[in-house]
Amino acid sequence: MGAGGGDNLVSDDSDSLGQVGDDLDQLSTQELHERAIRRAERHVDVRFFWKLLQLIPAAEAARGDTAEADFDIQSSKGLIKDALHSGDGELGEALRPVFIDYLRSHPGA
């Protein structure tokens, strides 16, 4: 997955910056990562983190690390299971306001 290799896992879409003259292509991968993570954390951008979770196993498999890809898939499944059972017991009671807010913002649910 080298630069300019044409085997990028992420396609250009409406979420990408893509601004001409933004000089992002000149930054190291580590700097891009740090800036993207910092921004996503500051703005609580769950969609960005979810996108990473979707892409990481494929990127690991593409570089030949299928064991790590399998591990990440299993870990992600655990997080999804936690979300599905988040209404149970004391955790459910603690998250009750979140459920109410979500349902109020989606009438008819």
Q: What backbone phi and psi angles, to 5 degrees, belong to 27?
A: -80, 155
Domain count, the chain: 1
Alpha helices in the chain (DSSP H): 29-42, 46-62, 66-84, 89-105
pTM, entire model: 0.59
Does the residue 19 lie in any domain?
A: no
Please indicate, yes or no, if residue 3 is contained in any of the structural domains. no
pLDDT tens figures, 49-104: 989 988 999 999 999 999 999 999 999 889 889 989 999 999 999 999 999 998 99
Angle formed by the axes of helices 46-62 and 66-84, nearest 10° = 150
Residues in contact with 45: Cβ distance below 8 Å, sequence separation at least 6, in sequence order: 39
Q: Does residue 15 fall inside a structural domain?
A: no
